Amino acid sequence: MRIGNRSSSNFYRVYQKDKEINYSVYSEIMDGLQFELELKKEGIKSFQEFLFANQIEEFEERLTQHFFNQSGKYFVLNFCYTDWLAKTLRKIIEKPKWNPGLVTDYLGKSEFNSFADKEYFFQVLQFLSFIRNLKGIKQFVDDQIYYLIEFPVADFQQFLGRNSKSSYQRSKLLDFLTSLQTLPPLIEKFSDIEFRSSVMFPLFKLRKQGRSWVLRVAIGEQLYFYNYPFIFSDSLLYFQNKSDLIVKLEIIQVFSTNSLTN
């Protein structure tokens, strides 16, 4: 069975194929159906940039979802040969939408010597959560990829539930944002004779645009596309006072530590 033209961007085929299954003491040949989607030309362009940028997980996820979406258009789902497709599409549709909750998976290893350290780390998590919703422009410095993102400072203030018109709050927020450039560089070791050290926030540019302050930030790809397994409730995104922050940070650490050990 063929769907589409062989030279088209999406060419789908279904055919019989034998598969050898090896067990511990014997093997057998099983007959089955092969569902195959071949991408070319314009069809592959929207995926190849993730492969070239070595974002393998993102590349595989987008390619896999495209395969299932195309399959769902072509086949009847209430059929014995497409039960696998119906099951997978159901999972994709029911996948929860993004919420602005805190994100991380390395908190179990974090150590804080003072309340100021805890507050600063909490603010870093808030910022990483905020930029997940921003579209960046890809730039290269040698083989290191950075993403330029731009946003009004007032938007970040509102995201944190603060008064966007308060110059005092804005000043404190800018102090925090500029301090991100003091974070230690990310060191990636490739071999015994080579390593790479990359600054994660090489650029901060603040300018007045009308009545608003707009911030332009360059952020390393490793943080911008950080793969995290946790999406915490947005109730943990904000804190009212010192005690509230300490309790919420403890909750996040407990969940992170348990997930890492499981």
Q: What is the pLDDT of residues 133-179, one digit of tens each?
A: 788 888 888 878 889 999 998 898 888 888 878 888 888 888 888 88
CA angle 213, 219, 224 (to 5 degrees): 115
Region 193-214: mean pLDDT is 83
126, 177 Cβ separation under 8 angstroms: no
Q: Is 78 helix (H, G, I), strand (E, B) or coil?
A: coil
Dihedral of the alpha carbons of 202, 204, 205, 209, in degrees to the nearest 10: 140
Per the model's pLDDT, the better-predicted residue between 222 and 122 turns out to be 122
User: What average pLDDT does this structure show over 49-71?
Assistant: 84
Q: Name the residue ranges covered by the structural domains of the chain.
A: 2-93, 107-261
pLDDT single digits (tens) 62-115: 888 888 888 888 887 777 778 788 777 766 655 544 445 555 554 444 566 788
pTM: 0.53
pLDDT band at 188 (very low <50, low <70, confident <90, very high): low
What pLDDT score does 104 carry?
53
Report the distance separating Cα 55 and Cα 63, nearest Å: 12
pLDDT at 229 over 60: no
- The label of the residue with tokens 């040698």 reads 142
Q: What is the mean pLDDT of the chain?
A: 78
**Element (H or E) spanning 215, and its range?**
strand 212-220
36 has pLDDT over 50: yes
